[in-house]
Structure formats: structure tokens, C-alpha cells
Amino acid sequence: MSTTAEIISRCQTLFEDLTFSYAREWKAAMPGRSVVGYMPFYVPRELIHAAGGLPLGILGGGDQLEVIHGDAYYQSYICRIPRSTIELGVMGRLDFVDAMLFPSICDVIRNLSGMWKIMFPKVKSRYFDVPQNYQDNVGGEFYINELKELRDMLAEIRGTDVTDEEIRGSIKLFNENRRLVREVYAARMKQPWQVPSSEIYLLMRAGMILAVEEHNRLLGDYLAAVAAEDRPRRDNARVLVTGAFCEQPPLNLIKSIELAGCYIVDDDFMLVNRWERSDVAIDGDPLQNLASAYLHNSGNTSAKYEPDQAKKGLYLVDAVKRSAAEGVIFAAPSFCDPALLERPMLQSVLAAHGIPYIGFKYAENSGQMQPIREQAGTFADSIKLWSDQ
Amino acid sequence: MSATPVSDAVKEASMLKQKEMIAANYEQLATARETGRKVASTFVPGNLNELIMCFDMVNNLPEINAIQNGMRKKSGGYIMEAEKRGHSEDVCTYVKADLGSLAKGSLGPDGRPLPEPDLLLLSYTGCFTFMKWFELLRQQYKCETAMLHVPYEGEGHSSKNMRDYVVKQLKEEIIPKLERASGVKFDIDRLRENLRESAKAEDDLVWVLESAKHKPSPIDAYFGGVYYIGPIFTAFRGTPDATEYYRLLRQEIEQRIAAKLGPITPDGEMHEERYRLVVEGPPNWTSFRDFWKMFYEEGAVVVASTYTKVGGVYDLGFRHDPDHPLESLADYCLGCYTNRNLPSRIDILEKYVNEYEADGLLINSIKSCNSFSAGQLLMLREIERRTGKPSAFIETDLVDPRYFSPANVKNRLESYLQMIEQKRSGATASAAVA
């Protein structure tokens, strides 16, 4: 049996590999395979898998990629993820990718979808819209048709139709993946000292790269390895980190929060891994089932409209309660419209529920962690010393 | 200086008409509670004015209020007020100017308080921020909110699926909420009548915008253009007043063409047209006149702009259609400029540079507006490559005075115009050698 250190070491290697060797090798291993890149926060990976493709999460270049070309395409007031993504494209690091999907998250990623069409005309690319109306006969119908269009695009890449049976098979695998992801998150909520967030982060990032079958095995192995190890428990404050659902924080930022005396007990780093909150139905029309899960059984983030003012932000309060968090850290990338416009609304909801919070900004290549560590440390101290909870 | 200062400025009939219309709308807003009129707040892109009018509601546009506050030099204080209340310095200044104004009592340009809306009609068209803006307003007002999700034309065109989705939302979400907020039952024939009126005004608006193909151009299609689009992008599309406004405007411009006159500027008529430019992006509002002056002092006329398409792209053929009322509203929303993908926006700019015989493209990149700004540097390169004309890039903001640096903007503009001169003299020299 592998140890957590061995498993995480593998994840770290995948995380640091900006040439995406795993995905290249996966594609080369069998004729007819394709790789479909996608950006945060959500795409139906089941369809890519059903079409014989590898869904490859593109979450920018992190803090190890020097961005030269990408900066020439953006003004100083645009966030960093599109710059490093363009850098990856221009430098040929994504030259094996057959198609790119740009989900409906913000105007920057939306416009990047058009830029991709111009800069990489041989690669299929698509802006992937999701409904902001959650009635089955309105938003649901729209979404089913969008899914059909995506399915047909993927079928064109493969050269053969994607069958309902194939999609059902993929849904089963991703249901298993989500179940295991939920289990890992639950384990961390229960014993965060046993399941450090810097490890969870790498484990979940591996899910952006690995084939789902392999990621499922890895998650299972990690859960088994965690159970077999005993790690020291510290008197840390339990915090929830939110706002980091697109451009990712440097790994060092996550480690800094932990080193500052916080256990991260919930986060929104990679929403796609657990967007659907429970299993997607298998029987019946698979596209309808995916649509229904999106409309009625999916997570929350600021790119998703909340029709009911009374419910606005309560998902965060629920997450705080569920994870027994003692405070919330709003960590958002600089110039991130979704996270920064949402933040005051969420903060007012937290304030109304007496939940303490702090906020800061980062970029994926932020290098100076001392201020973060001091801020998080002070927050942890204030929770421990003065919180009523 | 190529503009002649006018000591005793004579307002043209269209200007007076527009002034009256705007004053009347603010009067309706200020007295809405006394008169019992219900108020809908909505946005410029994807503005459903013809539909709102079917319910006798008065239309209030937070973007326009932010612009008004920008031009009256009040937005800076409002933005700082919003930032003090926890809104990030990184986000849209329209939003912060609006929220700051709200915190300070929300006064209209006539100094009277604007009424609280009875309905927030969120037409989510071409701008992600709109959704958050109205969620923020909803938190303040706690009133009914209707969300119209307009899908983005990611593939460069709309599809039947998108159109059907918008129409269904109109039927099942928007109209019932308008009925509930107003107490007025929907009458589709009334909508048809309003749309018929819109199409008349749209014909004249397109004629006006295309008049800039003349040399000299009788209009400035950016700085002047923002006044021309005022009625049709706001609370007046579909009204006889708007039709009359565009009829008057067209007459005036016909006369200007016949007299071979250039555009009217705040300092009078511009006599010599030295440069013809296409501009992409919204203007800066806090120093609007200073900004414009930098152009007309150099004899630079904007012959086409994309900002004047943000509330509807009519010059590519779209007209509101009374025979297909809801479908037509859907097509209108889907086709607004910032709801079109980047390749389509580049095609439009290329067409403008060529058809309006422009010397080049100038991009005014707005810090606040990622919907416009993200990708503009690629647009610039593409237009230069396709047209062979020089392009330039300046950066300002919508209503945040901290981001308007006159010396930098002027310097860049002058350098750009010199570049155009050099290109011209190079072309003349090559022709002479040949």
C-alpha cells in the first residue's frame, strides 16, 4: 500500500509538470483518443469522457511559469489566469489539446474563448454556457440543447456519435469520483490534522489531469493511507477558504495559512470535482439527468445567479456549519470580478450570522507570503482568544 | 485649433428635444411615488424599454445615473464611499458610483431623490458584472427582481436554442413579474405598437451614424455619438418622442452634409477634418469634454465607434419587428455589441475602418469594463494586420477620475496622429517613386 507521502509526491509531480506529460502520454497510448482542455469552474466532464476524451483542467500557469507572451495580450488590470493560459498556448505546451472549453464564469474567460479561436484556429474551442434560469422547461431545456451541441462537437472530434450508453457509463465513473472526493473532504472536516489541505489540494489538482478511473484509484489509496497513519493534532483554528475558484492560489499560500495556525476545513479551489452534490441519475436520458443535476443539485459560486434574495449567501453559512468552521478567509485573485463583487454580499451574510472573516487578494504567482501568514495567524489567534464559538 | 468657439451657442432642435425628454423622464422618476407610477431599474444593453412601457412603468437606468454623476464630477466621491464600505478597488466603477450614490441618498441630476425601484429588471446581456450589480442592489432594495439570462454568442451567432430560451424567459419570468410589479396586464398589441415605433427611430439612427461616411463627416460618431444614442439606448426607444428626435436629428445632419459642414463640438463647428478614426470602447465620462477636445483640437473626427452599438447593433440590419415581438426582443438582446464574441467584434471594426475610410483604430481601454477590455490588445493587432492601418491604445476609466491622466492620454493621441501622418507621407513618397 502506498503512503500518503508517496501519493502526494506523485500528485506534486503532476501539478508541477507544465508540459502535461501525463495527458500527452495518455493520448498517445491509443489511437483515436483526444484531450479536451477546460477552464474553471464547471464543464460536464462526463461528455468528454464518453467521447473517448481526457478532460484536462487548465488552471493557469501557477507560480512556476514565467509569463512573457501572455502579458502582451492583457492590460495591467486584468487577472493573471488568462495571461498564463495564453502563455501555455503560445509556448506550445497545449499543442496536443484537441479542443478547449471556456465556461461561463466571467467576461475575461468569456472573451478568452474568442481569442482562442483567433490565436489557435486549428483547435476547436467553445464558450460553454450554463443556465441562470433554473426551471426545467426554461433553463433546463436550454441547457439540454447546449449539452447536445457539446456532445456533437465531441463526436465530430472522435468521428463517431457519442451514445447515451457511453454517457451513462461516464456518469457512473464520475459519480464514483465525486463520492470519493466528498469522502476525502469529509475526512478533512472530521480530522484536519490527518488530512492537510496542502495534500488535499494536490490530490484534487491531480483530478484535473488524470483519467477519472486513475483518479478514483488514487483517491481510494489516499483515504486508505490516511487511515493507516497518525499525525499530530495542533490547536489550530478551523477556517473555510472561499473565493479561489478560478485563478488558483500558489501552493505556498495554502501552506502558509496552515502554518499560521489554521486548519482549512472547506474550500472552493476546484469546484468541478464536487459540483454535483450527490449522484447524477443513471437511468433515463443522460443529458436530461446532467441538466437536472445542474439545475437542482449543484453547488454555489458567484458565477451562478441566486434567484432568491433570502437565500443569498446562505450556502456559505451552511458550509461553515457543516464543516464546523470558526471563521472564513476570503481569498480572491486580484481583479477577479466574480469573487470581488460577491465578497461584500457574502460578508454581510456572515456578519449577520456572527461568523468572523478576513479577506485578502493574491495572484497565482504571488511570492511574498509573510503578509498572508501574519494576517491568517492573527485571525487564528483572534478566533482562539476571543471567539464565542 | 480647428473648432471655432461659439460665444452664444445655439442649441439645435434635436438637442432641445432630447433635453426635454430627459428632463421629463427624471420628472416622472422624481414624482413616481406621488403619481403612483411604478419604477423599473434596468440596464442599457438588453434594455427592454418597449416591454416596460406596456406596463406604464418608468424606466430608471443605474448606468446612466452613474454617467450623469461622472459628468457632474460626483462619481469620484461616490466610488470612494463604496470602497469605504468594502467594495474592492478592482471592480467596476459604475457599480461603485451607483452604490455610493445610493448610500448618499441617490439624487437624480435635477437634485431630487430617485425613487426606489419596484422591480429590478436584470437583463443579463453581454456583461457579467450586471448580475452582481443587481444582486447588490437587491440586497439594498429587497424588491422583486426579474432575471433575463441572455446567452453569449460564443460561436459568433445566435442559435434557435438561445432565442427560444430568451423568449421563454420573457413569457414565463419577465412578463409575469412586470405584471405583478405594475398591476397592469400585458397586451401584446401594445408591445407591437411600441416596436413599430422603435423601428422607425432605428432607421433614422442608422442613417445618422452612417452619415459619417461622408467627407467631411457631419458628425462625430463617438463623442457626438453618445448624445445621438441617448434616447434609443435608454428610456425612450419605442416612444413617438424618440421617433421625432431622430427625425429632427436626421434633418439637421442632412443640412450639414449639404453645407459640407463637419461635426459640432462643445467649442463650435469643427472646420478641418484631418484624421478619421474608428474608436473601440466606452468613453471616459469624468473628463468627457477635455477628452473630446484633445481630438477636435487636432482635427480628429471619430467616424465610427463600437460604444454606440452597446445598447443595440442596428447598422448590421437588425430592426425591432412588430410581427415577431418577443422573438425580436430576444434577437435584440442577443445581438448587443458586447454579447458578440471577439472574432465578430473584430469583423465589425474591420468593416468600419474600411467602409468609413478611416485612418486607423483607436482603442480606449476601460479599466472597469472587462467585457469590453479583455482581449482588446489582440483586437488591435488583428485590425492592423487586416487593414494595414495603424492602431493605438489608450487607457482610462468610465467614472473614476483617478484613472484619467490627461497628459498621458494627450501624449498618446498626439503620437498616434503623428504616426498616421508618417504613414501618409510614406504612402505619398512610395506613390511618387512608382
How many angstroms separate the CA of residue B389 from the nearest CA in chain A? 19
Q: How far is CA B105 from CA B38, B69, B73, B102, B204, in A?
A: 19, 13, 16, 5, 38
- Distance from the Cα of B12 to chain A's closest Cα (Å) equals 39
pLDDT at residue A10 is higher than 90: yes
Using a CB-CB distance cutoff of 8 angstroms, which residues of chain A are in contact with residue B396? none
CA distance to partner chain A, nearest, from residue B267 (Å): 33
- Please name the residues between 323 and 342 in chain A that touch chain B, using a CB distance below 8 Å: 334-338, 340-342
Q: What is the mean pLDDT of residues B395-421?
A: 96
How many A/B residue pairs have CB atoms within 8 Å? 167
pLDDT at A388: 60
Calculate what percentage of chain A has a pLDDT beyond 70: 99
* pLDDT, mean over chain A: 97
Rounded distance, CA A277 to CA A77, Å?
A: 35
The count of domains in chain B is: 1
With 80 as the cut, is the pLDDT of residue B348 above it?
Answer: yes
User: Which positions in chain B touch A312 (Cβ < 8 Å)?
Assistant: 135, 138-139
Q: Could you give the C-alpha distances from A39 to A104, A119, A268, B125, in angstroms and in order?
A: 10, 17, 15, 22
Residues of B in contact with A137 (CB under 8 A): 168, 172
- Asked if the Cβ–Cβ distance from A115 to B378 is below 8 Å, we say yes
Percentage of chain B modeled with pLDDT above 70: 97
Say how far apart CA A45 and CA A54 lie, in whole Å. 9
Residues in chain A with CB shorter than 8 Å from the CB of B165 are 131, 133, 138-139, 141-142
Residue at B140 is within a domain: yes
| Dihedral class, residue B9 (left if φ above 0, else alpha if ψ from -120 to 50, else beta) | beta
**Interfacial A residues in 69-88 facing B (CB < 8 Å):** 72-75, 77-78, 82
Angle in degrees, CA B331, A41, B338, rounded to 5: 30
- Residue B186 belongs to a domain: yes
Q: What CA–CA distances, in Å, run from B339 to A209, B77, B128, B153, B313?
A: 32, 31, 10, 6, 10
Nearest in space to A40 (alpha carbons), one of A121, A140, A128, A143: A128
Which of B83, B120, B132 is best to mutate for the A interface (most A CBs within 10 A)? B132
pLDDT in tens, B112-153: 999 999 999 999 999 999 999 999 999 999 999 999 999 999
Asked if the structure places residue B241 within a domain, the reply is: yes
B142 falls within a domain: yes
A302 and B CB contact within 8 Å = yes
Region B395-412 average pLDDT: 96
Whether B341 and A127 lie within 8 Å, measured CB to CB = yes
Question: Which range of residues forms the domain containing residue B305?
Answer: 26-434
Residue B357's region, left for phi above 0, alpha for psi from -120 to 50, else beta, is: left
Which residues of chain A are within 8 Å of residue B154 when distances are taken between CB atoms?
A: 102, 110, 113-114, 126-129
Distance (Å, whole) CA B93 – CA B366: 10
Q: What confidence category does residue B2 fall into, taking pLDDT thresholds of 50, 70 and 90?
A: very low
pLDDT for A387 equals 73
Asked if A267 and A291 count as a contact pair (C-beta separation under 8 A), the reply is no
pLDDT per residue over A237-296, tens digit each? 999 999 999 999 999 999 999 999 999 999 999 999 999 999 999 999 999 999 999 999
Residues of chain A with C-beta less than 8 angstroms from the C-beta of B90: 77, 334-337, 340, 361
Average pLDDT, rounded, for chain B: 94
Question: Half-sphere exposure of residue A228, counting CA atoms within 13 Å on the CB side?
Answer: 11
Contact B397, B284 (CB under 8 A): yes
The partner residue sitting opposite A107, judged by closest CB among B127, B135, B154, is: B127
The closest CB to that of B86, out of A307, A347, A361, belongs to A347
CB atoms A132 and B124 under 8 Å? yes
pLDDT of residue B432: 72
CB-based contact B303:B356 (threshold 8 Å): yes
The per-residue pLDDT for B434 is 64
d(CA A168, CA A185): 25
Q: What is the pLDDT of residue B1?
A: 38
CB of A366 closer than 8 Å to CB of A331: no
Judge whether B163 and B170 are in contact, CB under 8 Å. no
Residue B6 has pLDDT above 90, yes or no: no
User: Which residues of chain B lie closer than 8 angstroms to A311, CB-CB?
Assistant: none
> pLDDT digits over B285-302, tens only?
999 999 999 999 999 999
Answer yes or no: do B165 and A112 touch at CB < 8 A. Answer: no
**Interface list for A 239-298 with B (CB within 8 A):** none
Provide the pLDDT for residue A1: 79
Q: Residue A373 is placed in which grid cell?
A: 501568514
Banded model confidence at residue B232, pLDDT cuts 50, 70, 90: very high
Q: Residue B240 pLDDT more than 50?
A: yes
Tens digit of each residue's pLDDT (9 = 90 or more) over B177-211: 999 999 999 999 999 999 999 999 999 999 999 99
- The answer to whether residue B20 sits within a structural domain is no
A326-346 average pLDDT score: 97
Residue A221 touches chain B, beta carbons under 8 Å: no
Please tell me which of the candidates B88, B139, B164 has its beta carbon nearest to residue A345.
B139
Look up residue B307 and give its DSSP letter: G
Distance CA A371, CA B323 (A): 62
Chain B residues with CB-CB distance to A129 below 8 A: 151-152, 154
How close are the terminal C-alpha atoms of chain B, in Å?
Answer: 35
pLDDT for B9 beyond 70: no
Task: Compute the average pLDDT of residues B406-433.
Answer: 89
The answer to whether the CB of A195 falls within 8 A of the CB of A184 is: yes
Q: Check if the beta carbon of residue B204 is closer than 8 Å to that of residue B242.
A: no
On whether any CB of chain B is under 8 Å from the CB of A7, the answer is no
Q: What is the pLDDT of residue A325?
A: 98
- With a cut of 90, say whether residue B433 has pLDDT above it: no
Residue B4: predicted pLDDT: 43
Instruction: Decide if B342 is inside a domain.
Output: yes
Is the distance from CB of A5 to CB of A198 less than 8 angstroms? no
In angstroms, the CA B121 to CA B28 distance is: 18
How many angstroms away from the CA of A371 is the closest CA of chain B? 19
Q: Is residue A78 within 8 Å of B365, Cβ to Cβ?
A: no
Is-contact A187 A195, C-beta < 8 A?
yes
Cα–Cα distances in Å, from B431 out to B245, B358, B360, B424? Answer: 46, 20, 20, 11
Q: Residue A183: its pLDDT value, please? A: 98
How far apart are alpha carbons A2 and B336 in whole angstroms? 56
Cross-chain residue pair B373–A78, CB shorter than 8 Å: yes
C-alpha cell at B229: 444614442
Reduce the secondary structure of chain A to three states and give it as a string: CCCHHHHHHHHHHHHHCCCCHHHHHHHHCCCCCEEEEECCCCCCHHHHHHCCEEEEECCCCCCCCCCCCHHHHCCCCCCCHHHHHHHHHHCCCCCCCCEEEEECCCHHHHHHHHHHHHHCCCCEEEEECCCCCCCHHHHHHHHHHHHHHHHHHHHHHHCCCCCHHHHHHHHHHHHHHHHHHHHHHHHHHHCCCCCCHHHHHHHHHHCCCCCHHHHHHHHHHHHHHHHHCCCCCCCCEEEEEECCCCCCCCHHHHHHHHHCCEEEEEECCCHHHHCECCCCCCCCCHHHHHHHHHHHCECCCCCCCCCCHHHCCHHHHHHHHHHCCCEEEEEEECCCHHHHHHHHHHHHHHHHCCCCEEEEEECCCCCCCHHHHHHHHHHHHHHHHHCCC
The verdict on residue B60 lying in a domain is yes
User: Does the pLDDT of residue B5 top 50, yes or no?
Assistant: no
Calculate Rg over the CA atoms of chain A.
20
Q: Is residue B1 part of a domain?
A: no
Question: pLDDT band at B3, cuts 50/70/90?
Answer: very low
% of chain A exceeding 90 in pLDDT: 98
Contact B144, B179 (CB under 8 A): no
